[in-house]
Amino acid sequence: MWEDEGSERWYRFQVMFPQDWVGSYPKWDELGTPASRNNAGSIVEWHHDANGAVESGSAPLYIRGGDQFIEMCLVDQATSACRETLQLAPLNRRHWQDIVIHAKWSSDPSVGYLEIWIDGVNVLPKHMGSNKYPGMKNYLLTGLYRNGHIGDPNLLFPDGTHVYGTDGTPGVAYVDGFIAGKTRDSVLPPAPATSGGSSTPPASGSASPSGSPEPTTNGGTPVSTAGVGFPQGGCSSTGFQSAWLALPLFGLFALRRRRSAA
């Protein structure tokens, strides 16, 4: 799914981090400084296409789980480092967190913007800024992408002890129910009808609306997911409403190593 200059889209998906999720690791080239940490990697990113050439540098946008927060990194193309790191919401382990993103994709900081809701709360009001690179398209990637030095059994602290064991330091995160569409309504499930036959958007913090089955654990126990709520005057896309695209991504993503923005 390609995103060109000026395209506008809505996305919705759910993420869950297990109880033993580790959101940061010792920074491989600063092992003598305990406070220096490297993020554990992204689970959703919008990468850049080099128009047929070999891609280099970090992607324009990463969403990741830190030690305490769900974070978003917006990258400076020149340095491949985060120009902005935004703490979007507390990371609630063993809880499905529902994420809705509204994006206007542009390399022009006066045109591009992002809006984000997590569990029905507007955690990022309209945030202006570039979110793609000039002359390139964005494309969506999901999976656990992290620095290739994480888990390296040859890394040693200054005292000679090993930073990691020999198991590769596996990481686990879950993504479910990815949907993309041209309008807000195209990514939200139908609201339950009221006694009068009309329907209203679910209130923030409510249970998952009917028509959107709650994710379950391996044991079959439903995991509560808050509904998605929007202000009545909120921004929405204009133009023709396309049919939503559902990507069945639930499950454990294989670990792929790569160097991403710090």
pLDDT tens digit sequence for 1-34 = 789 899 999 999 999 999 999 999 999 999 999 8
Is position 176 within any domain? yes
pLDDT tens digit sequence for 62-94 = 999 999 999 999 999 999 999 999 999 999 999
Is position 201 within any domain? no
Is position 7 within any domain? yes
| φ and ψ of 98, to 5 deg | -90, 125
State how many domains the chain has.
1
Q: Is the pLDDT of residue 245 over 80?
A: no
pLDDT at 176: 93
Q: What is the 3-state secondary structure (H, E, C) of 132-170?
A: CCCCCEEEEEEEEEECCCCCCCCCECCCCCECCCCCCCC
pTM: 0.72
Pairwise CA distance, residues 176 & 103, whole Å: 20
> Is residue 84 within 8 Å of residue 261, measured between CB atoms?
no
pLDDT at 49: 87
Is position 191 within any domain? no
- Parallel, antiparallel, or unpaired: how do β-strands 97-104 and 137-146 relate? unpaired
CATH at residue 159: 2.60.120
Pairwise CA distance, residues 50 & 52, whole Å: 6
